[in-house]
Structure 1
Amino acid sequence: MAEAHQAVGFQFTVTPDGIDLHLSREVLKHIYLSGVTSWRKRAIRFKNGILTGVYPASPSSWLIVVIAIMSTIYARIDPSLGMIDTIKRTLSVSGYMTVQTQTVLSAILFATGLWLSLILMLRYTLKTLLSYHAWIFESHGKISFCTKLWLSLVKMFSGRRPLLYSFQTSLPRLPVPSVDDTITRYLESVRPLLDDEQYNQMEVVANDFKKDQAPKLQKYLILKSWWATNYVSDWWEEYIYLRGRSPIMVNSNFYAMDLLYVTPTHRQAARAGNAVHAMLQYRRKLERGEHVISLLLLLALGVVPMCSYQMERMFNTTRIPGIETDFVQHLSDRKHLVVYHKGRFFKVWLYYGGCHLWPSELETQFQMILNDTTEPQPGELKLAALTAGNRVPWARARLKYFSQGANKASLEAIETSAFFLTLDDEVHGYDPDKLGSLDLYAKSLLHGKCYDRWFDKSFTLIAYKNGKLGVNAEHSWADAPIIGHMWEYVLATDCFHLGYTEEGHCKGDINKGLPPPTKLQWDIPLECEEVIEDSYMVAKVIADDVDFHGCLFDEFGKGLIKKSRTSPDAFIQLALQLAQFRDKGEFCLTYEASMTRMFREGRTETVRSCTSESTAFVRAMEDKNTTRLDLFRKAADKHQNMYRLAMTGSGIDRHLFCLYIMSKYLSIDSPFLKQVLSEPWRLSTSQTPQQQLNMVDIKKFPRYVGAGGGFGPVADDGYGVSYIIVGENLITFHISSKFSSPETDSYRFGQNIRQAMLDIRALFDQKDKKEKEKEM
C-alpha cells in the first residue's frame, strides 16, 4: 500500500540511551518536492486568478495609472476634482502619517479606485459589443461596415493574451425571447407535420396560451434572467438530466471514438499510459486556466469567445444518485485513478514526489493490473451495473450498503478519483476488412457489458486489448464539444508529442520504487448482490435493444459541398430529411443540437430541421421536379437562418421548456406547454465538432482523423444520428435505433443517408453539366 510505503521513511526505536530516530532521505526528498509542487501550483493559480480578475486590463496597467496620477500631483494638477484631498483629510485623523505620506497614499488609493472603475467600464463595453450578433446573419465573405467597425472595437477592448476564463465576466447573458416570436416560430415549425384541421386546433391552443397564461410566466422568467447567470442552464441540468430516474446508460451518456485508421501501439498498457498522462497534462492546464482561449474555443471571425464554464467540472467529478434527484459532485485536485479490469477495481496513484507519473511509469502500473490473476470478490464483478440501472435502486443501495466500512472507503475512492479507466478485455476498433466492426465498437463504447464502465463518472476512459481507445461520458455536467476538445488534445499529444518506442512501449525511464496499484476491498452482502443483478438485467435489456450502424461516407465531403456554396451542415440536414422520408414515408419532428456558448453558462438550443421549405424540397426530389435545386437552396438558407437564431438566443425550445417549469412552480395548468413538451423527437441529430485545437494538420497527416462519437436513440421508434465532417472528403455517421421497433433499421437508414447525399450532389453535377454545354 502507498501509506505503508511512505511509512518506512520514518522509524524510531527506544534504547537505554534514548530514542534512536531514523529518517529516509528519499522519502523526505519526495515530501519536500511534493510541498514545492503544491506551493508552485498555488502561486500559478493565484497569479492567473489576478490576471483573469482584472481582465481586459493587466496588473501592470495599475502601475501606469498610479504613476500618471502621481505625476499630476507633482505638476500641481488635481484630476480627482478634490477626491484626493477628501481621502487625505480622512487619513489625517490617524495622526500616524506625515503630510507627504498622506498625499502619496491618497493618490494611490484614488488611482486604484480609478483603475478598478476603468476595468468595470471596459468589461461593460466589451459585454455590450459581444451582445451584437448581426454579423452572424451576413452572407459569407460579405462583411458590412458596421461589422467591420464592431470587429475593430472588439479587438481593441479584448486585451492581450487572454486566459481560459478571462472573458467569463464579459460574456452577455442569454436573452429571453418574446412570447410572440416563440409562438410564431413554433407554429411555423409544426406546420409541415400537421394537416389543416390539426394545425388550426394547435393555433387556437397556442393563441389562448399567449393571451392568458404566457404574460405572467414570461414576467417571472424575465425576473429570473436578471437574477440568474443563465435563465436556462440550471433548470436544464436539473430537470433534463439530474431528476431523471431512468438509466443514464444509453439514454443519456454518449461516447467518443479513437483515431479511425491509426493505432500507434497495440500494447494496451502503453496506450493507456500515454492517454492518462496526456489527460493529466490537460487537467493541469485546465486547473490553472492556462489553455489559450483563441486555441481552446470555437471562434467566430477570430474574435468572439465562447463560454468556458462547462470545462470546470471535466475532472474529479461524479454524478451522485439520489432518491428524488441526483447531484453533481466536483472536487479539487484528485491524485488517484480507479481502474477496472476483469471484475476487479484498483486504485492507482497519479503523483509521486509531487509530479505526475510519466507514461512509462503509468504503463508499468497498468501492466501490473493486467498481470493480476486474482478473482473478483463476491458481488464485485458486476458492481458497476448499479450505475447502469434505474437511479432509485442505486440511490437506496448506496445509502444502505455503501455508507460504512470497506464499501464506503472503496466507493469513495471511485467517486473522488480524477476519472475512471477500464482496461477492457475485448478487441475493438474500425477494421475495413471486418463487416460491422464500427457498429460493435460503438456499442461497446456506449454500454459495454453494462458493468465494466462507471457511468456516473464525468467520463470513463476505455483502453481495449488491441490498443484502441474510447470515452464514455456522463451528460449532465457538460455537452459533447467539451469532451471533444479534451479528446482531441489527448489523441494529438499521444501520437505527436509523447510517442512510443520501436517495441510499442511508452518512452522514458521507470521508477522502480513506485507503490503498486491497490486493490479495492468490498464486503457486499447477498441482498446487495440481488440489487446489482436486478440493475444489470435492466441495463442489459436496454443494451441488447440498441441497433447501431456506423456509416463512413467518403464519396465526397466538406470540400465539394462548399464549392456548391452551401453550408455543409445544411446539406447534411437536408439529406437526413430526404433519408427520413424515404425510410418511413413521412416527415417527423427533428432535433438538431446547436450551442449557445456565446452567452455566459450557455449550453444548447434546438434547431427544428424539418421545415416547410425542407419538406417541399424532399417532395420535389421524389417527384423529380425540375425546381429541385432552387428548392434545395431555399431550404438550406432557411436552415442556416434557424441555426443562427438558435445560436444567438432566439431559439424556441429552451424558452418553452423554461415557461413550462415556471408553470409548474406557479401551479398553472397549460395544455399548450404540455403538448409541446410531450411531442417525440423521432429524428434526433447532432454534429460533432472537429479540429477545435488544430494540433494536427489533416492535410499533412490525412490518416490521423477521429471517428467522432454518438449517442443512443431518443425515441422508441426513432433514430439518433451523430455525424462528424472530417477534413475535405469524409463524413462519418453514427446511427442508433431500437431493435424492438418494427419501424426502424439503422443499417437501412444509413443506406438511405448515403443515397440521399449522392442524389443531392447529382443536382449540382447536372447544373454544372448544363452550364458547360451552354459555354460550348
Structure 2
Amino acid sequence: MPLTVHYVLAMMLWSSLPKLPVPPLKQTCDRYLAALEPIVDSEMLKNTQELVKEFQAQGGVGDRLQKGLEHRSRKTDNWVGCSMDRFNFPKVEQLNCHIQFCITTSPVLDLSFGFVVSTLQVCVLCCSETLPIEYLGGKMLCMNQYYQVLCSCRIPGIKSDSVVNYALNKRPPSHITVVHNYQFFVLDVYNSDGTTLTVDQLYIQLEKIWNSSLQTNKEPIGILTSNHRNSWGKAYANLIKDKTNKESVRAIQKSIFTVCLDAPMPRVSDEMYRTRAAVQMLHGGGSRWNSGNRWFDKTLQFIIGEDGTCGVIYEHAPAEGPPIVALIDHVVEYTKKSEMVRTPMVPLPMPKKLRFNITPEIKRDIEEAKQNMNIMVHDLDMKVIVFSHFGKNVPKSYKMSPDAFIQVALQLAYYRTYKRCCATYESASLRMFKLGRTDTIRSATSDSANFVKTMDDPVKQNTEKVALLEKAVKAHRAYTDMAIRGQAIDRHLLGLKLQAIEDLSALPDIFMDTSFAVANHYNLSTSQVPAKTDCVMCFGPVVPDGYGVCYNPMEEHINFAVSAFNSCADTNAARMVQALEDALVDMKTLLDQTPKAKL
C-alpha cells in the first residue's frame, strides 16, 4: 500500500502549480470598502474609510504587514496555510459537514460492503499513480486534499487541535473501523500481499460484526467526540491515560475511514423524511439514538441506517467538499451495479472489538457530552427541500450563471425577511494554487443590494428590474472569478491580521473596527456543492443569529438544506426556505414576463 510513495510523486507533479499570490494591499483595501457598502451604515463606512486610508499609507502599519506576508509567501508553498485544524469549534454542526443521499433498495450490509469496496477502489487509485488529475478551465488543480481525506483524523488538544494523516507513515493503515450499537471494531481490508479483501469476504466480516454487536453497548464512548473542543480535549487526555483505551483510540484514528451502522430512527412523514435524514447524518439524533455511534473527529465516516438511508459525514479541517463529492459519485455508481455472486473462501479471523475501560471520571465526561449533544440537537433547526420548479436549466437559458442566480435569490430572500442586507459567505476554491483551500465570495454587493431593494417596488418598470438583476448576477460571477484567481479579500485580511498578531503588540485599528466585526458576522453562510449524485449537503450556521445554506443545482431541480438555531427568535429555517422558493420563482417570472430578457 505505497501511498507515501505516491504522495511524494504527486507532490512533485503539483510543484508545477503556481503559489497563491499575495494581492496588492491597495486592491484589497478598496475591495474591502466596496464589500462594506451594502452592509454597514454611512457613518460606520465613513469612519472605516479613514482607518483604511491610514492603514494602507506608504510606510505605515499595513505596508509593513504586507511586506511580512510577501516574505512568508516566498518561504512557504502557501502563505495562508491549512490553519483550520488549529481552531477549536464548539459545535458538531459547525465542525462537521455531511452529504446525505438515499438508497433504499438494498439491505444495510449490502450497502455497507458496497461503500467499503468502492471507497477502497479510490484508495487504490491514490496508492497507485492513477488518480486522475482534475482541471478547471484547462488549468490543473491541486489534488492534495484527496490525500488528506483517507487515513486522517483530528486529534484534540487542551489548547488547540491538530490533524494527523497516517497514510504518510512508513506502514500506512490497512484497516477500517466499523461501529454498531456504540461498539467499535477493527476490520482489516488488505491481505498480506497488498490486495483488498473480496466483496464476499467483506460481506462476511461485516456480518460477523453485526451479529456480535446486536446488544447496545451501555457506554457510547464515541459521543465524547461531540463535546465542546476544550472539554473533549481534557476528557481525551484523561481517556488515553489507560493503555487499553489509548490503543483503541489510536486504532480508530489510524483507520482508513469509519463505517457507522445505525439503529433505525423514528418514522416520520414523507415530507419530513429528507430533513430527518439530514440531521441524522449530521449529529445522529441525540444520545438516545445514534450520536454515540460516531467518532466525529474522523475525517470520513459512512453512515448506513437500517431503513437504507445513507450518507457521509466528514470532518472539515483536512479537506473541502469537492473531494468528498467526487468520492460519493464513485460510491453511488458502484452501488448501482448488480450483485456479485459470492464464492467459497478461506475463513478469516473475527474482526477485533475495541475495548474501553470506563472509570467514574470518564463516565462523568460521557454524561456531560450526552447533555451537551442533546442541547445541540434540540437547538438545530433544519429544513431540507427539493425545489422542483426549475434547476440549472432556467438561469442557463437566460445566459446567467446558475450559482450567481441562486446567490442573488438568497439576497432577495434575506432582504424580504429582514429589510436589510447582510454579510454573506460563499466558499470559493483556491485549488488552482499549490495546497490551495478556499477564499470567500462575498455575495452581498452594491449591485445585489440595488436589485433586491428594487424588486418589489411597484413604481419601477420590469425592464429596469431585469437590468439590475443581470448586473447583480454578473457582479457575483466577476467576484467568483476574482476569488478563484486568488484575488479576493478575506484570506488576505486574515493573513494581515495574523501577521499583526505575530509582529505587533497591538492589533491595528482596522481589525478592531465595528465594520470589520460586521463584515465577518456571516448571517448567511452558504456553499454550492454540485454533484452528479442527486444528494444534498448540510451544515450549521456559523453565527447564533444566522443561517447555513447549502445547495446542489441539478438540471431541472435544486436540492437545498437550510439551517438555523431554535435559540434565536429571529431565525427560522422553514421561513427562510419559503422566502428562498418565492424569490427564485419571482425572479424567473420577472424574466419570463419581460420582453428581450430571454437571449
Q: TM-score when scaled to structure 1?
A: 0.72
2:224 maps to which residue?
A: 386
The residue identity in structure 1 corresponding to 2:64 is K
User: Partner letter of residue 296 of structure 2?
Assistant: F
- Residues 1:769 and 1:217: Cα distance change in structure 2 (over 3 Å): closer
Q: Which residue of 1 aligns with 2:578?
A: 751
Alignment equivalent of 1:683, drawn from 510, 524, 544: 524
- Which structure 2 segments of 5+ residues have no match? none
Q: Distance in 2 between matches of 1:428 and 1:338?
A: 26
Give the whole-Å Cα distance in 1 for the aligned partners of 2:4 and 2:366.
42
Query: What is the alpha-carbon distance in structure 1 between the residues aligned to residue 499 and residue 292 of structure 2?
Result: 38
Report the alpha carbon displacement of residue 427 of structure 1 after superposing the two structures with TM. 4.9
Equivalents in 2 of 1:560, 1:459: separation in Å? 35
Partner in structure 1 of residue 347 of structure 2: 513
| SS in structure 2 of the partner of residue 309 of structure 1 | coil
User: Does the C-alpha gap of structure 1 residues 165 and 731 become closer, same or farther in structure 2, counting only changes over 3 Å?
Assistant: farther
SS at match of 2:271: coil
CA-to-partner distance for each residue in 1:145-164, whole Å, 9 max, x for gaps?
Answer: xxxxxxxxxxxxxxxxxxx6
Give the AA of the match of 1:723: Y
Equivalents in 1 of 2:446, 2:516: separation in Å?
21
Structure 1 residues 509-588: aligned runs within 5 Å: 509-511=343-345, 513-588=347-422
Trace 1:154-303 onto structure 2 (pairs within 5 A). Answer: 167-211=13-57, 212-234=60-82, 236-237=83-84, 241-244=85-88, 246-247=90-91, 249-259=92-102, 262-263=103-104, 265-293=105-133, 297-300=134-137, 303=138
Q: How many residues align?
A: 580
Q: Does 1:463 align with 2:304?
A: yes
Given candidates 343, 358, 372, the residue that maps to 2:198 is 358
Tell me the residue number matched to 2:544.
716
- Contact 1:584 / 1:743 at 8 angstroms: preserved in 2? no
Q: Which residue of 2 aligns with 1:401?
A: 239
1:768 and 1:714 map into 2 onto residues whose CA distance is 41
Partner of 1:612: 446
How far is the alpha carbon of 1:510 from its aligned partner? 4.9
How far apart, in 2, do the equivalents of 1:45 and 1:585 lie? 54
Deviation at 1:670, TM superposition (A): 1.4
Q: Is the 8 A contact 1:165 1:289 kept in 2?
A: no
C-alpha distance in structure 2 between counterparts of 1:245 and 1:580, whole Å: 26
CA distance in 2, matches of 1:573, 1:401: 45
1:349 counterpart = 2:188: yes
C-alpha distance in 2, partners of 1:723/1:245? 23
Secondary structure at the counterpart of residue 363 of structure 1: helix
2:75 partner letter: W
Which residue does the alignment assign to 1:126?
Answer: none
State how far apart, in whole Å, the 1-side matches of 2:381 and 2:346 are: 47
CA contact (8 A) 1:428 1:440 kept: no
Q: What is the distance in 2 between the residues matched to 1:735 and 1:45?
A: 39
Alpha-carbon separation, structure 2, partners of 1:557 and 1:377: 45
Q: Give the drift of 1:298.
A: 4.3
Deviation of 1:407 after TM superposition, in Å, equals 1.2
The CA deviation string for residues 689-725 of structure 1, in whole angstroms up to 9 with x for no partner, is: 324xxxxxxxxxxxxx421211111111111100111
Q: Give TM-score scaled by structure 2 length.
A: 0.92
Describe the shift of the 1:507–1:541 C-alpha distance in structure 2 as closer, same or farther (beyond 3 A): farther
Q: 2:253–2:298: 8 Å Cα contact kept in structure 1?
A: yes
SS in 2 for 1:356: coil
CA apart distance, 1:651: 0.2
Structure 1 contact 687–722 (Cα < 8 Å) conserved: yes
Q: Which of 475, 482, 496 is the matching residue for 1:659?
A: 496
Question: 1:602-636 CA deviation, whole Å, 9 max, x = no partner?
Answer: 11010111111111111111103211000011111
What whole-Å deviation, never above 9, does each CA across 1:43-63 have from its counterpart, x for those lacking one?
x986x68xx96xxxxxxxxxx
Equivalent in 315, 326, 348 of residue 161 of structure 2? 326
Q: Find the counterpart in structure 2 of residue 438 from structure 1.
A: 274
Q: In the TM superposition, what are the counterparts of 1:448-487 in structure 2 within 5 Å? A: 448=284, 449=286, 450-487=291-328
1:491 Cα offset (Å) = 1.2
Greater Cα shift, 610-619 or 673-682: 673-682
AA aligned to 1:413 is A
Q: CA–CA distance in 2 between the matches of 1:770 and 1:670?
A: 48
| 1:290 counterpart SS class | coil
Cα distance in 2, alignment partners of residues 712 and 509 from structure 1? 45
Q: CA deviation at 1:376?
A: 5.4
Residue identity matched to 2:271: L
1:57-76 matches, within 5 Å, as none
Structure possessing the higher relative contact order (Cα contacts under 8 Å, 6 or more residues apart): 2
Q: Contact 1:382–1:533 at 8 Å: present in 2 too? A: no
Q: Deviations over 1:650-709 (max 9, x none)?
A: 100000001010111112321212346533100111100324xxxxxxxxxxxxx42121
Matched residues in 1 for 2:175 and 2:467: separation?
59
Report the CA distance between 1:419 and its aligned residue: 1.1
Structure 1 stretch displaced more, 392-401 or 762-771: 762-771
Letter of the structure 1 residue corresponding to residue 557 of structure 2: L
Change (3 A) 1:213 1:227: same
1:428–1:460 Cα change, 3 Å: farther
CA shift, 1:493, in A, is: 1.9
* Contact 2:182 2:222 (C-alpha < 8 Å) held by counterparts: no
**CA deviations over 1:410-458 (Å, ceiling 9, x no partner):** 11211111111110012599x9x61211111111111113322111011
Q: Which amino acid aligns with 1:273?
A: F
With over 3 angstroms needed to count, the CA separation of the structure-2 counterparts of 1:363 and 1:175, relative to structure 1, is same
Deviations 1:121-172 (A, max 9, x none): xxxxxxxxxxxxxxxxxxxxxxxxxxxxxxxxxxxxxxxxxxx657401111
Q: How is 1:111-190 mapped onto 2 (pairs within 5 angstroms)?
A: 167-190=13-36
Contact 2:423 2:524 in 1 (8 A): yes
Aligned pairs (5 A) from 1:478-497: 478-496=319-337
CA distance in 2, matches of 1:468, 1:605: 33
Matches of 1:603 and 1:350, distance apart in 2 = 31
Of 136, 145, 154, 1:310 maps to 145
Q: Give the secondary structure class of the aligned counterpart of 2:564.
A: strand
Task: Sort the Cα spacing of 1:768 and 1:495 in 2 relative to 1 into closer, same or farther, 3 A.
Answer: farther
Distance 1:617-1:507 versus aligned 2 partners, 3 A rule? farther
SS of corresponding position for 2:425: strand
Query: CA–CA distance in 2 between the matches of 1:556 and 1:299?
Result: 26
Q: Structure 1 CA distance, aligned partners of 2:87 and 2:579?
A: 36
The amino acid of 2:449's aligned partner reads: T
Q: Distance in 2 between matches of 1:545 and 1:770?
A: 43
**Structure 1 residue 361: deviation in Å?**
2.2
Q: What amino acid is aligned across from residue 275 of structure 2 in structure 1?
A: D
Distance 2:572 2:214 in 1: 42
Coordinate RMSD, CA, aligned: 2.2
Distance 1:292 1:343 in 2: 37
Kindly indicate whether the alpha-carbon contact (under 8 Å) linking 1:250 and 1:543 is maintained by their aligned counterparts in 2: no
Give the superposition deviation at 1:353: 4.7
C-alpha distance in structure 1 between counterparts of 2:546 and 2:385, whole Å: 17
Whether the aligned pair in 1 keeps the contact of 2:108 and 2:305 (CA below 8 Å) is yes
